[in-house]
Amino acid sequence: MNFNFSNKLANLKPSAIREIFKNLTDPSVISFGGGNPSPESFPVDELKTLAAGIFENQSSTALQYSITEGYTPLRNILKARVKEKFGIGRDFDDTIIVSGGQQGIELACKTFCNEGDRVLCENPSFIGALNAFRSNGAIPVGVDCDNSGIIPEALEEKLRSTPNVKLLYTIPTFQNPMGITTPLNRRKKVYELCKKYGVVILEDNPYGELRFDGEDIPTIKSMDDEGIVIYCSSLSKILSAGMRIGYVTAPCEIISKMVVAKQSEDVHTNIFFQMLCYKYMTEYDIDAHIEKIRALYRRKCNLMLECLEKELPREITFTRPSGGLFIWCTLPRSLDSAAFVKGLVERKVAVVPGATFLADENEKSSSFRLNYSTPSDDDIVKGVKILGKYAKEYLANN
């Protein structure tokens, strides 16, 4: 039978990155392509102890169906945490548990977008979000960015000229893939513009706790007097990515729609691990744990930056993150990074070509993304050396 797939799925391709990694079985390749947290960031022994306790004393709750909104004690402790750390949560807001930040993004799109509606986003942006929009039949529309994030004039132009814009999706802190952070004045402008044009903001903050340099900048959600911001985050980068636990804070009216949509997707998130996270957050010092992850990523990021400075030809520029997982490199003379990256993989170093992250899949990019959280220190040194040598040859010949 010739299948007649839905329009939204017919042309949607799997994430290029996940496909690269599924097929990356050659152990001699040094990968800067991932986005995985370091395994050192998982508090294994503590989780093991707590899990045994749940099987012992709470198994009939932990293994049974539960409510869609999530485990109430975990929701409450997360509410308190984002309030304290990020000034998030007003009387009109509520917080629910989702199956990773990815589900929060997808549900927000499903809640607001009909097929054909537009979602504005940084260009480049997180591929998982772009595909979540596409998988709902919504069309991502990229807004030009500089090293301070979304350019307000470009945003206003898009808000004015694009039909059926329902959401602005933004990662203002340690953006994926660029590693940049939007300063406060820009955040305020983004908020005011969306308010003016009646567009809901979807603020994604998966890396917010991973600052290893400088001071926190207020989240856009912390400015949300009007109740127009959906805030998504997760425990993937600070406790475990594989457990798939994220959370969303948004006005109650939006949350109640997202709950209905979530009920139809997976009924609820794995309840055992929701209880495990709650126990970890009450019985151990999560802030001390996060401090260790920050120190680890600070060291790894600095090491990679030093190597890049030493090895890369001057014409290749790169961002200098204050947190998160990624560095964004840009080739000179608008060279297409796709060909560059392909040659680099042959030299056994994997990075992600910039075009992967563009709203318009047919556009080209001269940038590529590096990750420093997953590779070992040795591989960072060795891999950047290979990258530098190859880049010099490449620029000489292109």
Applying the rule CB under 8 A, the residues between 21 and 80 that interact with a second copy are: 22, 35-37, 39, 42, 44-45, 47-48, 51-52, 55-56, 59-68
User: 204-243 mask for a second copy (x: CB under 8 A)?
Assistant: ----------------------xxx-------x---xxxx
Nearer to a second copy, 80 or 260 (CB): 260
What minimum distance in Å lies between the beta carbon of 370 and a second copy?
Answer: 18
- Which residues ranging from 317 to 356 are in contact with a second copy (CB under 8 A)? none
Binder of a second copy out of 200, 223, 286, 349 (CB under 8 A): 200
Question: Would you call 147 helix, strand, or coil by DSSP?
Answer: coil
Among 83, 188, 189, 257, binds a second copy (CB under 8 A): 257
365, 337 Cβ separation under 8 angstroms: yes
Residues in the chain: 398
What is the layout of strands, in order, in the sheet containing 139-146? 93-98, 246-251, 229-234, 200-204, 165-170, 118-123, 139-146, 149-150
The residues in 130-149 that bind a second copy, with binding defined as CB under 8 A, are 131-132, 134-135, 137
Distance from C-alpha of 14 to C-alpha of 24, rounded to nearest angstrom: 15
114-151: string of b/e by CB count within 10 Å (b at 16+)?
eeebbbbbbbbbbbbbbbbbbebbbbbbbbebeeebbb
Q: Is 111 in the site for a second copy (CB under 8 A)?
A: yes
Between 226 and 393, name the residue whose CB sits nearer to a second copy: 226
Place of tokens 């030493």: 310
Considering the complex, what minimum distance in angstroms separates the CB of residue 383 from a second copy? 20
Q: Which of 238, 254, 312, 395 lies at the binding interface for a second copy (CB under 8 A)?
A: 254
CB of 398 to a second copy, least distance (A): 34
State which residue, 273 or 318, has the beta carbon closest to a second copy: 273
Using CB under 8 A, pick the residue from 94, 117, 203, 209 that binds a second copy: 117
> Cα(317)–Cα(319) distance, rounded to whole angstroms?
7
Question: Closest CB to a second copy among 103 and 176?
Answer: 103
Q: Which of 33, 89, 100, 353 binds a second copy (CB under 8 A)?
A: 100
Mutual orientation of helices 101-112 and 127-135 as an angle, nearest 10°? 40
* HEC-encoded secondary structure of 343-382: HHHHCCEECEEHHHHCCCCCCCCCEEEEECCCCCHHHHHH
Count of residues touching a second copy (by CB under 8 A): 86
